[in-house]
Every structure is written in C-alpha cells, then in structure tokens.
Amino acid sequence: MTDPADLQTVVHASERGRVVALDSAYDVRPVNRDRDVAVNASYAGVLPARFIAQQRPRAAIGVDCGIGLDGAGIAGLWYLEALGIPAAAADVATVELGNGVAMHEAARISRVNAVALDLGVVPGQSVREAALLLLETDPPPPAAASEVTHRTVMETAPSGRSIVCTDSIAFGLPEDAGRNVLCTAGHTGRSAVPYLRQVAPWGFICSDGGGGRDRSGTAGLAIVEADGLAGASVDANTARMGDGLSTYEDGVISACNAGAAARGVVVGMSAREAAGRLLGDVPAP
Amino acid sequence: MGQTLLEREEEHPQEIVDERDGRAIVIMDSARWVDGRNTGTDVVVPASYIGVLPARMVAIHRPRGVIGHDACVGKDGAGIGGLWYLEALGIPAATADGMTAEMGNGRDLYESGVLSHVNYPAERCGLRPGMSVREAAFLLRDVDSSDVEVGNKIRREIVEEHPSGRRIVVTDSIVWALPEDEKVSVLVTAGHTGRSGAKFLLEADPYAFICHDGGMSKNRSGITGLDTTAAVGLPGACIDGNTAPIGDAFRAWDEGRISAANEPALALGVEIGMSVADAARRLLADRP
C-alpha cells in the first residue's frame, strides 16, 4: 500500500481519517492535515515537531530515542501540545528507528503530552492502540492552564487522610488543610513557602528543583518547619518536575524537614514510602 | 471541590527593574504571577523552572519574552520543557543555569543568572547560553523576533574550510544538505542514523558525515546507516546521545563525543570516544 510518491503506508482507515506509518517525520504531507494520525519513526524532538506542526496532522507518534540529554528526544511533545496537537513518543527499546510500519506493529508508548492524555493515550499502551484512540476520539475543548492539575487520590487511610498527587502546590484545595499528604512537582524554594502555608497540608512532598544554587530548591523545608508542616523533597533527576504522579511513583527523597523525619522519612527513601509514612500520626514527643 | 489555591490567589508581586518605550523588564519569584499586565509588552523574569506546567500559565498572558530557571534540567528535561511549548507559540524564552541563581528568587535570577538554554525565537533575538540574564532581558526587550510562524528553522554554518575547498558544515538535519555539499562537505548533523537517515545520506553523498546515534535503540537501529553508507565507501560516525541532544548539531559540534563509526571512517583515524570536532577534522583531511 506504500505510495512511492509520498512514502506513506496506510495501516488503518476509517471515515474520520487514516493511521499512516512513515519512516520519517519529514514524510508528513499536507494531505494529512486535520485528518490523519502520523506514526513516524523519527525522534520526537523539537526539530521534527516543527515539520509536523507545519502540516498539522490530527495527531503524531514519534520515538523517544532514550529521551537523552536535556530530554531532547521528547521535547517536541511540548511544542505540539502548545498547538493543540495530541502527540506521544514510543519507547526506543521497542522500536526500530526509521521503520514506521514495524513501529506501528510492535512499539509501546513511553511519554504523552497533555492533549494525548486527554484522549486516553497512556504510557505502556501499544502504538497501534494509541493511534486508533487518537484517530477515533475528539479532543475535549482546551483546558485553562489552572485546570490541568492531574489531581489523583492515591490512597486513603482509615484516619480519613489521603495521599493526593497534583502537579503544583498552587493546586492545593481547602479540603487538603490538615488532612492530606500532597505529592506535587514544583520546587521547594522560598516562593513555594506562601503556598505551603496557605494550603497547610498534613504532609507534603515537592521537587528539589535540581538543588539550585545554595540548595535554594529545598530552602522552604526548614522555613515551614516552624509552621509545624512536615515535608520532603524528591531529587529532580528521579522524578519529572510538573508531574505530581511522577513525584509519587518515580521520586527518591533528597531532603526532608524535622517534621517529616519525626514520622520516619529519611533521605534515599522512595517517595511512595515517604508519603505513606507522612500519612501517619504525629509521634508523641 | 473548592477552588485551588492558584484560583484563590489575588496577589501577584512583580517588580519592574527597567522600562523603555512602554516595554518593561519585570522580575518576580514565581511564573504564576505573570498576568495581563505583561501581555505583549513585558519581558518577564520569574524564578520558576520552565517546565510545561509553568509555560501553560505564562503562555495565556503572552508576554514579550520569558527568562526562567532550568532547575538543573532534571529527569526527561522537565526543567526546560516549557521552552518548546513557548517556542511553538512564537514566544522567545530562555532559562538560567540552576547553579547560577536561587530558585524562587527573581532578583537573584536577574542579577546573577547565566543562561543555559534558549528556544529558537530567543536565539533569533541574539540570546546564547553563557550570556547573563540581565543582558538577555535587555535583548528580548529591544530586539524583535522576526520569526514567529510555525515552520522550519534552518540553521547551517560552515565552521572550518580546508585548502582544497572542502569544508565542515554544521546543520541540524541531513535533510538540509545542499547540492554543493556533494563530495565536498563533511556534514555534522543531529538526526539519527537509522534507515530513514541513511536514505538521505546516500542522496546527499557528502565527503563524509557525522549524525546522531538516536540513543542506539532496538537492534542498534539508530546507527544502521553506518553499514549502508560503508557499503558505498562513504565514511561516517555517530554522536553519543548522552553527550549532545538529538536535533542540535551545534551542541554536538561543541560538546559531542563519538559513539560509533563505520569502517571507512575508522580507517581515516576516527575513534570511539573522540570529540565530534576532532572526528570531523579527521574526516575532512586528504585521503590516501
């Protein structure tokens, strides 16, 4: 079915459009505009994304190329997200680079942008299944920035307290005060302090922001200790900033304050375990 | 469910540090405090990481330019992912090296920060890694980024010339090879060297080439083009994906190291682990 003129192999077709397999992102064509899902065996970086965006296909799936230095293998996902184009990247270990048809048959998704996530595309899914979802589902109207919170309750203890993931401490709710352990994904520097004080969660885990000069990315831990708040930070090299679920699922604790230490949190512990300990009662003095 | 803290927050502390012709440079501790006051006119300098999340909050207000903090880049490059979000919207943006400025301290970012990463519209305004945040902020205020359309951004530069007329050309993708590169140029590009890349290499037929290894990938498919090109006697090598980001040939030229090379390139003295620049020079030399 390959048309030698346009280097596209149609691997699925419906009334809404087609899933086309391409060896390269450069092979996306005007014919794909607003209609087709372009499964391409290029890396999902900014450079290929510029080419893809020019043609505005319905959606695109590229390859993460191991993500690599500076996240350059997937940076195009964020470029396409800004333009409202759903996009995902496939795990490089499941893909033969430069072979679009094989990628469609065998590869699995590793990273998605927020638009694709809204359509049900998730890491671990097959590229084949993801491409069908992208073809057959209409994106919801674009959300306001403050609505993209990914708030998820992970666990609720008999005490009624919960572990809640949300992408930023600024997305804290009144009901979190004195009750929930929030796993968020901004840094724990001084600008986080007013938010931590206002939300006043039962416990919190944020990012260490990569450390920063003079450990400024965790400077807030000691400051809010005086307010009686128990909290910790995860190493930004272990969990993605801006992704609260990643803080909980991937994070490793790099710093914590005395309140968190009193509940059993230690540096080097997984964030998942630390969140569980923060959920507990304050030990008697 | 009640309103989030962000929605309830009313104070957006901003400080104008310089102003000219109605355009201000505005420092602040958090990207969440960018608002409608900054639309179109202001260069905002918030001491937040520039991930996708803060970029969404900043983008709706469309400031003239953005300079934030890279949070030492971190997992998946999440500390700088917002640069590419803003680029798609034509907004020039840059980050400061996380070890040169305190997180959450806008004044320190403005006074002490040194740029680490820039997006393409910012590059067009003259911003470069290594520049001070202060200098960059003035450039963003005073220079118009002429290119705000979605589309190709072709970077190409001749970095060295040989007495024979041959030269080393750095360009981000092999698809930007020109007819005059045929048998003359050593092309340093930054796409992967898989089978689709190999097709372009054979068509371009340069004197020699260096591409990216694409993180090697399943069955080492990121470098299969080395064999395809060796079969026609075209010398070539690959850039280690952990030393230079895929898609940026200029950083590969400055910082990259070689992870693989084909037989014709090895015969010319290219070695694994060598810098990309040294390898390119060996590929440029006269051949026996």
Task: State pLDDT tens for residues B219-235.
Answer: 888 899 999 999 999 99
B153: confidence class by pLDDT, cuts 50, 70, 90:
low
Q: What angle do CA A88, A114, A108 make, to 5 degrees?
A: 25
Which of B76, B120, B217 is the closest to A95 by Cβ? B217
> From CA B73, how far away is CA B280, in angstroms rounded?
29
Q: Are A169 and A192 in contact (CB under 8 A)?
A: yes
Query: What is the 8-class DSSP label of residue B104?
Result: T
H/E run at residue A187:
strand A181-187
Identify the residue whose tokens are 């993605």: A240
Q: What is the pLDDT of residue B140?
A: 96
Q: Where are the domains of chain B?
A: 5-142, 156-284
Rg, C-alpha atoms of chain A? 21
B101 contacts in chain A (CB < 8 Å): 212-213
> From CA A245, how far away is CA A247, in angstroms rounded?
5
Q: List, for residues A104-130, the tens digit of each pLDDT value.
A: 999 999 999 999 999 999 999 999 999
DSSP alpha helix (H) spans, B66-119: 82-88, 106-112
Cβ of A23 within 8 Å of Cβ of B196? The answer is yes
A233: confidence class by pLDDT, cuts 50, 70, 90:
very high
Phi, psi of B281, rounded to the nearest 5 degrees: -65, -40
Cβ of B78 within 8 Å of Cβ of A241? The answer is yes
Q: List, for residues A134-173, the tens digit of each pLDDT value.
A: 999 988 887 788 888 999 999 999 999 999 999 999 999 9
> From CA B194, how far away is CA B236, in angstroms rounded?
13
Give Cα B105 distance to the centre of its chain.
Answer: 25
Q: List, for residues B106-146, the tens digit of each pLDDT value.
A: 999 999 999 999 999 999 899 999 999 999 999 999 998 76
DSSP alpha helix (H) spans, A60-199: 76-82, 100-106, 114-118, 127-136, 193-199
Over the range B49-61, which residues count as b (16 or more CB within 10 Å of their CB) and which as e? bbbbbbbbbbbeb
Query: How many other C-beta atoms can be found within 10 angstroms of the C-beta atom of residue A246?
Result: 24
Nearest C-alpha in B relative to A82: B85
- How do beta strands B258-261 and B236-239 pair? antiparallel
User: In percent, how much of chain A has pLDDT > 70?
Assistant: 98
Q: What is the pLDDT of residue A145?
A: 81
ipTM of predicted assembly, 2 dp:
0.82
Which of A23, A63, A75 is the closest to B77 by Cβ? A75
Candidates B256, B273, B47; CA nearest to A69 is: B256
Cβ of A45 within 8 Å of Cβ of B245? The answer is yes
User: In percent, how much of chain B has pLDDT > 70?
Assistant: 97
CA distances, A94 to each of A19, A132, B13, B218 (Å) = 19, 19, 48, 6
Contact residues, B window 172-211, toward A, CB-based 8 Å cutoff: 172-173, 175, 190-192, 194-199
pLDDT, greater one: B102 or B147 = B102
CA distance B32 to chain A (A): 9
Q: Which of A55, A117, A195, A213 should we substitute to test contact with B (largest number of B Cβ atoms within 10 Å)?
A: A213
pLDDT at B77 over 90: yes
Whole-model pTM: value is 0.83
Q: What is the mean pLDDT of residues A44-68?
A: 94
